[in-house]
Amino acid sequence: MATTIAAHNHPGKLATVNDEDADLARFTWTHYRGRFQNGYNGYLHRVIMGRICDGAEIHPFQLVLPIDGNFLNCRRENLELISREDWLAKRRRKAKRFAHQIQYSQATGYWRVLPDKSEHSTEEAAVQHLAQLLHKD
């Protein structure tokens, strides 16, 4: 089962935690920049990860990240402990995978999405477009 904890500064913001961590609701939590924090205990997701690690201190260079990307989902099965180096490597791989798909145009000042190169190259697309124009007659 899961329990929800409400933020005192945003009553509509609820964090979901496991029943083992329901006692954390006795503290006053604030919702700030997408995360629940407490002036004494720190971030809710880091407090819960500390409990998972049997009270071991989490080093500042270790990140506690939600697997689904939602910091309001602080259930134990949704949290992962990752080093900053691994997180940066993962981000670089993701950015490299999508780097060819978007491009910033200084002339227009807008970002644009490029066609998927896996289907065909730009030259092939131009040849197909010219062939369609020639066969319209």
Short-list 35, 118, 113, 38, CA closest to 74: 35
Three-state DSSP state, 40: coil
Query: What token pair was written down for 8?
Result: 């005192």
pLDDT at 42: 84
Cβ(2)–Cβ(19) below 8 Å:
yes
pLDDT at 121: 58
pLDDT at 18: 93
Residue type at 18?
A: N
Q: Which residues of the chain, if any, have pLDDT below 70? A: 94-102, 113-130, 132-133, 136-137
pLDDT at 43: 87
